[in-house]
């Protein structure tokens, strides 16, 4: 190929369809690889995402490449849509910026035993029931009021603990990444401020692009996979997109500060302070990974409790419940074993705004999904489509794919250009019921502030990172 696309300062070489390479230069230890169409390459004025791909390539212990998914955009230190793996035994680092402030932000999809047309007469009533039951917006209390002892159990047990307390059924856990609890959580590494912030927010959506949507399956792309996952055409589903709230945010803040001070002792220099990192096996590295796992479990319990709220609303208004399809994070660092140059190596895989996508046959897949691969959940922008995807054989970037549309316009700019009331009226006119938390919040999340989700998913599939299983469209949105 060899066509060169000139970015602001970063040289990007087109290698093939949906694949660009940033050649290794200067202190880069590995090249950058960007999976995207030309149209999806970050080019918005001031977007430093490709420079961030370059910066990540300088991290100690990074192997193979600094990867970017098709929804890549500017983030804190690492780009959102970035994937980087470091060799733990070779001084490979862990960096909180490679996970993000919303630790274990993720998505779960639940399926209702009902078709779209049968629900429509009761949609308004259902949305009102959800409106009453789903805490959302900045701050604001969660559905579960707990004390410190119970919070510690949440940090260790995640969704598993929530189910043990009666908030869900055992089958839910089989459909959660890691069975609902990431091992290795260390509540002792979660600071007092993080605990304070986390106490009152278990079971709450938060704000920004987080949502709970009632959706309907619009297109089935892969009938066999959809069937194995428990999804069919016209089916009503619920998608929940949220994370670890103030607790995860505070953990990130605290550990970035610690690492920023400690890095010099390990002889680490980074091109951007936001890339603060230490060896994953060091004291500070293990402390962060323990706190990060605790936040991940908090996020999983959070989604489990919001599922219960949604189930209660469905039982109340429609007389039936919801089955969990899957729950998966898109902001996490995990210690995983991969083959590098024919050798099994323990890697610290950072996925920030990127989703794990295990291929068919992977041993970590639950019963019934081994033949089709891991479900991948891609939340759309308010009022637009969302996707159910599956992992594929040979997927690059350590079995990872995209996570969503990717913002192209700042919150501020969106709020200036869009009127929240008019946007709600527009969505309602298109048949999408809206229950928001604030007018400004709605305006900031207007579809025009994001990339085209259909294009992002097409590029992800085209790049061989995943395949499409089903496309879902919103019937009603509960917005933080």
Partner DNA sequence: ATGTGC
The residues that are catalytic are 403
Stretch that binds DNA, among 217-225, 246-254, 256-264, 266-274 (CB under 7 A): 246-254
206: contact with DNA by CB under 7 A: yes
Judge contact between 47 and 9, C-beta under 8 A: no
- The 8-class DSSP code of residue 267 comes to T
Given candidates 79, 208, 379, 380, which one binds DNA under the rule CB under 7 A? Answer: 208
State the minimum distance, in angstroms, from the CB of residue 206 to DNA: 3
State the minimum distance, in angstroms, from the CB of residue 241 to DNA: 9
139: contact with DNA by CB under 7 A: yes
Taking the C-alpha atoms of residue 433 and residue 424, their distance in angstroms, rounded to an integer, is 8
State the minimum distance, in angstroms, from the CB of residue 151 to DNA: 15
96: contact with DNA by CB under 7 A: no
Neighbours of 454 (CB within 10 A): 15
In degrees, rounded to 5, the angle at the alpha carbon of residue 185 between the alpha carbons of residues 204 and 389 is: 60
Alpha helices in 95-237 (DSSP H): 116-119, 123-133, 148-164, 170-174, 192-199, 223-229
Taking the C-alpha atoms of residue 453 and residue 405, their distance in angstroms, rounded to an integer, is 5
Given candidates 250, 258, 282, 307, which one binds DNA under the rule CB under 7 A? Answer: 250
Q: How many residues bind DNA (CB under 7 A)?
A: 25
Q: Which helix (H) or strand (E) holds 108?
A: strand 106-115
Given candidates 17, 23, 138, 183, which one binds DNA under the rule CB under 7 A? Answer: 138
State the minimum distance, in angstroms, from the CB of residue 273 to DNA: 11
201: contact with DNA by CB under 7 A: yes
In 3D space, the residue among 112, 165, 159 whose CA is nearest the CA of residue 306 turns out to be 159
Taking the C-alpha atoms of residue 108 and residue 110, their distance in angstroms, rounded to an integer, is 7
The 308-347 site mask, x for binding DNA (CB under 7 A), equals ----------------------------------------
368: contact with DNA by CB under 7 A: no
183: contact with DNA by CB under 7 A: no
Taking the C-alpha atoms of residue 125 and residue 114, their distance in angstroms, rounded to an integer, is 16
In degrees, rounded to 5, the angle at the alpha carbon of residue 375 between the alpha carbons of residues 373 and 379 is: 150
249: contact with DNA by CB under 7 A: yes
Residues within the interface to DNA (CB under 7 A): 76, 101-102, 105, 138-139, 193, 196-197, 201, 206-210, 242-243, 245-246, 249-250, 407, 411, 445, 480
């Amino acid at each position: 190929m060899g066509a060169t696309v000139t970015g602001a300062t970063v040289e990007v070489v087109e290698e093939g369809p949906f694949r660009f390479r940033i050649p290794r230069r200067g202190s880069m230890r590995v090249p950058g690889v960007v999976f995207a169409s030309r149209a999806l390459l970050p080019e918005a004025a001031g977007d430093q995402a490709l420079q961030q791909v370059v910066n990540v390539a300088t991290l100690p212990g990074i192997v193979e490449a600094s990867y970017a998914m098709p929804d890549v955009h500017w983030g804190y230190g690492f780009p959102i849509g970035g994937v980087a793996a470091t060799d733990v035994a070779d001084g490979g680092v862990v960096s909180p910026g490679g996970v993000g402030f919303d630790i274990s932000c993720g998505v779960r999809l639940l399926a209702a035993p009902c078709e779209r047309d049968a629900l429509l007469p009761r949609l308004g009533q259902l949305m009102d029931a959800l409106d009453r039951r789903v805490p959302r917006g900045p701050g604001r209390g969660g559905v579960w009021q707990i004390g410190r002892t119970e919070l510690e159990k949440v940090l260790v047990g995640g969704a598993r603990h929530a189910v043990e307390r009666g908030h869900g059924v055992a089958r839910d856990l089989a459909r959660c990444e890691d069975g609902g609890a990431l091992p290795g959580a260390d509540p002792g590494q979660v600071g007092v401020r993080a605990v304070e912030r986390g106490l009152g927010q278990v079971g709450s959506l938060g704000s920004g692009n987080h949502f709970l949507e009632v959706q309907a399956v619009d297109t089935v792309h892969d009938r066999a996979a959809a069937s194995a996952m428990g999804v069919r055409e016209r089916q009503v589903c619920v998608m929940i997109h949220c994370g670890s709230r103030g607790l995860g945010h505070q953990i990130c803040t605290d550990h970035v500060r610690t690492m920023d001070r400690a890095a010099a002792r390990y002889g680490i220099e980074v091109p951007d302070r936001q890339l603060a990192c230490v060896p994953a096996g060091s004291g500070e590295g293990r402390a962060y990974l323990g706190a990060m796992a605790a936040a991940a479990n908090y996020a999983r319990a959070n989604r489990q409790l919001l599922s219960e709220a949604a189930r209660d609303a469905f039982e109340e208004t429609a007389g039936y419940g919801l089955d969990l399809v899957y729950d998966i994070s898109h902001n996490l660092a995990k210690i995983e074993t991969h083959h590098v140059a024919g050798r099994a190596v323990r890697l610290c895989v950072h996925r920030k705004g990127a989703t794990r996508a295990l291929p068919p046959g992977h041993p970590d897949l639950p019963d019934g999904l081994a033949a089709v691969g891991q479900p991948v959940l891609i939340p759309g922008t308010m009022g637009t489509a969302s996707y159910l995807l599956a992992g594929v054989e040979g997927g690059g970037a350590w079995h990872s794919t995209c996570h969503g549309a990717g913002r192209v316009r700042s919150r501020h700019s969106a709020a200036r250009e869009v009127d929240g009331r008019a946007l709600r009226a527009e969505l309602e006119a298109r048949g999408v019921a809206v229950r928001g938390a604030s007018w400004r919040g709605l305006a900031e999340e207007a579809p025009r502030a994001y990339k085209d989700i259909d294009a992002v998913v097409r590029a992800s599939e085209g790049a061989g990172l995943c395949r499409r299983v089903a496309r879902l469209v919103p019937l009603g949105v509960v917005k933080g």
